[in-house]
Amino acid sequence: MTTLDSKIPSGALPEKWDKHLAHLRLVNPSNKRKYKIIIVGTGLAGASAAASLAELGYQVECFCFQDSPRRAHSIAAQGGINAAKNYPNDGDSVWRLFYDTIKGGDFRAREANVYRLAQISNNIIDQCVAQGVPFAREYSGYLANRSFGGAQVSRTFYARGQTGQQLLLGAYQALERQVGQGAVKMYARHEMLDVVLVDGHAKGIVARDLVTGEVKSYAADAVVLATGGYANVFYLSTNAKGCNVTAIHRAYKKGALLANLCYTQIHPTCIPVTGDYQSKLTLMSESLRNDGRVWVPKKKGDKRPPHEIPEEERDYFLERKYPSYGNLSPRDISSRSAKEVCDEGKGVGGSGLGVYLDFREAIERLGENVIRERYSNLFDMYAKITGENPYKVPMRIYPAPHYTMGGLWVDYNLMSNVPGLYVIGEANFSDHGANRLGASALMQGLADGYFVLPYTIGDYLAGLGMKNKVGADHAEFKKAEAGVTDMTRKFLSIKGKRTVDSIHRELGALMWEHCGMARSEASLKKALAAIPGIREEFWKNVNVLGGGEEPNQALERAGRVADFLEFAELLCFDALDRRESCGGHFRTEFQTTEGEAKRDDANFSYVAAWEFAGVGKEPVLHKEPLEFESVQLAVRSYK
């Protein structure tokens, strides 16, 4: 029986992290170079962790499937990063950031993890400024802040609409400095296809060289997964096409627990779907809702151009429903509200699946130059994709899969239940509960990589000592290599009639329909009944062209979709088990008379962590109770 020990330290909430640091075991500086750490993924979490651990003196080997670490999906983050600096002097504090975050997550995250995140937030800004990240500044030269959803203070630091890219360049430069010094060995165009356990401890990985096709083992003293989220299970999402679940899913099949998978974030501000030919969707930053107003016509089926609809015939539905937060209501609430008005027949655009995001009033009040200065790259992107000028006509937006709060279960040290296997950033489940507030993903990724993992991994290595070191010639590595090679042969041997993408699209449509913005017991059971058939179709009728000893993107996609076909089932099991609505998990049977999410704290105030029991078999549920000592559980209200 797997026991979940969160390792949360005792004591008062503001003192837990400092107390924990004081009692962690240390590795002597001269001994650090005797330990090797593998890091998979080079986004904000992975790049910052690799740079920090190498700076401390550890040997680091870093893997990414892109041709450069700077192509990690973190570059797609647009709006900003939160920190409790209180520069605008509007009442912010570490406590307020903590409370906004845990409330935003609908009280389904650990208190201690969320408070630590708020504590560390200020250090992140200092670190990034020192690296030269070009945050926006006021005329005086002070760092500028803007507002984001779920908060009544301005705490979001930003670099126009490309904050993720600028932060990643900072982490990338720190990483490349260590590469140049020989402290980090970088493996670009390498995809991790298995994690290797020896005597129950993570001791390395098996990866495929995506250029030559070579499958090879890499041994280490600890493994860190920083491989992002699983929103591409829906096929259409704001994620890059390459984003996948393979690393964490294959760790799950080796014994690591996957937790809270039903907490999937649907971002309210995305360019609507325009046709079946699309392979992904485009995010429009939440920051746009600082100045843009969201509305639909009050009259159902009103197809007049927006400029012909007078003010009194417009429904600014977020301002109407949530007057205290208005257009900056949290993402889950804003998304459901947009779906609601579209379901009522008030949606705009050819499909009727869209709402307006209108900047007319802001442009009249501030001037077009100010709006251009704040959002020009976002406005330009929208114009290129839609052919419409958002300075002249309202943007059309609709919710889309964006971020996933679930992931591999980790303790307070960011280690999974598999000793030596650490998980950071979006790949773990730890900080956001059932819904992530805007501008918190970058905060968590950099907190984990720069300021948490470098301390906590030393505690594990110090306990390990110099014993139990293994090389890539160990029998477990050879066994894992053989499994990966056999899987590759199997993909290439099927020779069916369907492309990998066609099957992925079928799975995604099913998941969006039955386990998307709204779920029910009936819809989830439909999905669980249909997924095995799609999976069987894949293994009987997929056609993967090319060979295994060459660059082969069809083969890469086949492996990732095969994992999604297993993972989707687990996601539905988790959503079916959680008989409540909270955050991004909205069960239609569990809602208030006003259509808001209805939690069941008495029965579901726990982390649901799932253990692999075999493909096609129901997984085993383990529960970690959530205990709240410093906050009062309350109905989440933004009215």
- Residue range 166-187, pLDDT digits in tens: 999 999 999 999 999 999 999 9
Distance between CA atoms of residues 279 and 239, nearest Å:
10
Q: What is the mean pLDDT of residues 358-372?
A: 96
- Give me the amino acid identity at 352: G
* Strands laid side by side in the 355-358 sheet: 264-270, 395-404, 355-358, 293-297, 314-315
Is residue 204 over pLDDT 70?
yes
Reference 85, options 145, 132, 16; nearest CA is 145
Query: What's the number of CA atoms in the CB half-sphere (13 Å) around residue 64?
Result: 26
Torsion of Cα atoms, 223 then 188 then 190 then 531, to 10°: 90
Distance between CA atoms of residues 630 and 118, nearest Å:
15
Q: What is the mean pLDDT of residues 523-544?
A: 98
Distance between CA atoms of residues 255 and 622, nearest Å:
13
Query: Domains in the chain and their CATH numbers?
Result: 13-263+405-464 (3.50.50.60), 267-401 (3.90.700.10), 494-601 (1.20.58.100)
Exposure string for 597-617, b = 16+ CB within 10 A, e = fewer: bbbeeeebbbbbbbbbeeeee
Distance between CA atoms of residues 310 and 230, nearest Å:
42
Q: Is 189 designated active site?
A: no
Alpha helical stretches, state H, 110-157: 111-131
Question: Which pLDDT belongs to residue 161?
Answer: 87
Torsion of Cα atoms, 589 then 593 then 595 then 600, to 10°: -50
DSSP 279: S
Question: Which pLDDT belongs to residue 639?
Answer: 87
Question: Which pLDDT belongs to residue 433?
Answer: 97
Distance between CA atoms of residues 102 and 381, nearest Å:
33
Question: Which pLDDT belongs to residue 2?
Answer: 67
Worst-scoring range by mean pLDDT, 58-67, 329-338, 464-473? Answer: 464-473
Dump pLDDT digits (tens) for 7-43.
999 999 999 999 999 999 999 999 999 999 999 999 9
Q: What is the mean pLDDT of residues 400-421?
A: 98
Residue 70, SS3?
A: helix
Residue 625 vs residues 108, 314, 429, 557: alpha-carbon distances, Å: 10, 45, 14, 37
Band of pLDDT at residue 297, cut at 50, 70 and 90? very high
Exposure string for 153-180, b = 16+ CB within 10 A, e = fewer: bbbbbbbbbbbbbbbbbbbbebbbebbe
Distance between CA atoms of residues 252 and 374, nearest Å:
42
Q: What is the mean pLDDT of residues 409-422?
A: 98
Q: Which two tokens stand for residue 45?
A: 């979490």
Q: What is the mean pLDDT of residues 67-96?
A: 95
Query: Is residue 614 a contact partner of residue 545, using CB atoms and an 8 Å limit?
Result: no
Dump pLDDT digits (tens) for 563-588.
999 999 999 999 999 999 999 999 99
Band of pLDDT at residue 275, cut at 50, 70 and 90? confident
Instruction: List phi, psi (to 5°) of 219.
Output: -100, 150
Is residue 1 over pLDDT 60?
no
Output the average pLDDT for the chain. Answer: 96
Question: Which pLDDT belongs to residue 28?
Answer: 95
Question: Which of 116, 208, 250, 331 does the annotation list as catalytic?
Answer: 331
Is residue 379 over pLDDT 80?
yes
Residue 265, SS3?
A: strand
**Dihedral of CA 51/93/136/140: which sign?**
negative
Exposure string for 504-540, b = 16+ CB within 10 A, e = fewer: bbbbbebbbebbbbbbbeebbebbbebbeebbebbee
Query: What's the number of CA atoms in the CB half-sphere (13 Å) around residue 218?
Result: 29
Instruction: List phi, psi (to 5°) of 260.
Output: 55, 40
Distance between CA atoms of residues 282 and 604, nearest Å:
34
With residues binned 3-state (H G I as helix, E B as strand, rest as coil), the percentages for the chain, rounded to 5, are 40, 15, 40
Name 577's Cβ contacts closer than 8 Å, sequence gap at least 6.
608, 621
User: Residue 558: enclosing H or E segment and its boundaries?
Assistant: helix 553-577
Distance between CA atoms of residues 85 and 121, nearest Å:
8
Name 324's Cβ contacts closer than 8 Å, sequence gap at least 6.
152, 638, 639
Give the whole-number percent of the chain exceeding pLDDT 90: 96
Is residue 3 over pLDDT 80?
no
Q: How many CB atoms lie within 10 A of CB 629?
A: 8
Strands 156-157 and 264-270: unpaired
Q: What is the pTM of this model?
A: 0.97
Distance between CA atoms of residues 344 and 518, nearest Å:
15
Q: Which residue has the tokens 């129901």?
A: 618
Q: What is the mean pLDDT of residues 298-307?
A: 95
